[in-house]
Amino acid sequence: MCGWKMAPSGPGGVRRRCRRVLYWIPVVFISLLLGWSYYAYAVQLCIVSMENIGEQVVCLMAYHLLFAMFVWSYWKTIFTLPMNPSKEFHLSYAEKELLEREPRGEAHQEVLRRAAKDLPICTRTMSGAIRYCDRCQLIKPDRCHHCSVCDKCILKMDHHCPWVNNCVGFSNYKFFLLFLAYSLLYCLFIAATDLQYFIRFWTNGLPDTQAKFHIMFLFFAAAMFSVSLSSLFGYHCWLVSKNKSTLEAFRNPVFRHGTDKNGFSLGFSKNMRQVFGDEKKYWLLPVFSSQGDGCSFPTCLVNQDPEQPSTPAGLNSTAKNPENHQFPAKPLRESQSHLLLDSQTWTESSTNPGKGKAGMSNPALTMENET
């Protein structure tokens, strides 16, 4: 889990420990609800209420498959540690001293520009400055944001989710999507197979036993969660198709040439592969298969999305020529560079050689203020 450190003694440390305990309440609630649904469906509905043996076997097999995938993806979403920026994005001791001496302004930015000159970053703040986290004392990689709950910078942060008590970002976004998908299928399956018994409940076709009330509440819970999960899952499917995070949907990323809401979109197929990977056999399994290292991402210069047909301001017309490839100002990692092999057009010409591949550290909608 993110944010687990030895809390100092004193009132502040006690408050932090209490908050950490409270953060687990939504997870405990979901776990208890899941445990009850297992008992209500497997025991009270399938074993007690179903009279046809074939129906029992089929329903129990399908149910246990969905239950296992639901629990597996939920577990991975909760306990996959968020990834933080690697050491190369942290300032050196000398650079930190320079920043402390320099007042906020051009001199301050000049120190950050020198520190970032060999880093694979394309995005800026709204004012065009280097994205820097005062709290973590590092230059933020593209799509990285500081989570106020975890008190860390999270690579490709999507949001902080209280239902998993974890940040959803580069390391576990695929697991989060699968959690939504399998939980939706789980609820739809329960509602569909429970419907006929629910109807018999209202027409007094069921004996007046304990199972009767489990069947009623099970249908209501499954139907209610199906509605809410379908809208949330649909929204995240749209985000994946556009290669956006939830944060980027609320606030468009800013590049050197200006704001571009579809700056990271490479087309539907490549957007899917960035999250799920190249090997389709792993797409439905909660195992990590996302492309890249979370520190560098290909960016699209000419926006071909029908929602934003115009070229971003400040770009010259030669960029529209498919024969004239332009690459990000800083090189991509090896894990992302193969995405540039197709005839795409990219942001800003290459000027500096990149550093080596970044090492991976530990993999709420929390917005940050960038100045």
Rounded distance, CA 46 to CA 194, Å?
Answer: 9
Rounded distance, CA 211 to CA 43, Å?
Answer: 9
User: How many residues can be counted in the chain?
Assistant: 371
The reply to whether 161 belongs to the active site is yes
Is 262 within 8 Å of 308 (Cβ atoms)?
A: yes
Contacts of 31 (CB under 8 A, 6+ apart): none
Amino acid at 309: P
Rounded distance, CA 107 to CA 89, Å?
Answer: 19
Is 113 within 8 Å of 124 (Cβ atoms)?
A: no
Q: Given 2, 150, 161, 187, which residue is catalytic?
A: 161
- The tokens for 74 are 């939920």
Is 273 within 8 Å of 238 (Cβ atoms)?
A: no
- Sign for the CA dihedral angle at 7, 12, 17, 20 comes to negative
Strand partners, 147: 152
Is 326 within 8 Å of 301 (Cβ atoms)?
A: yes
Catalytic residue ranges: 161
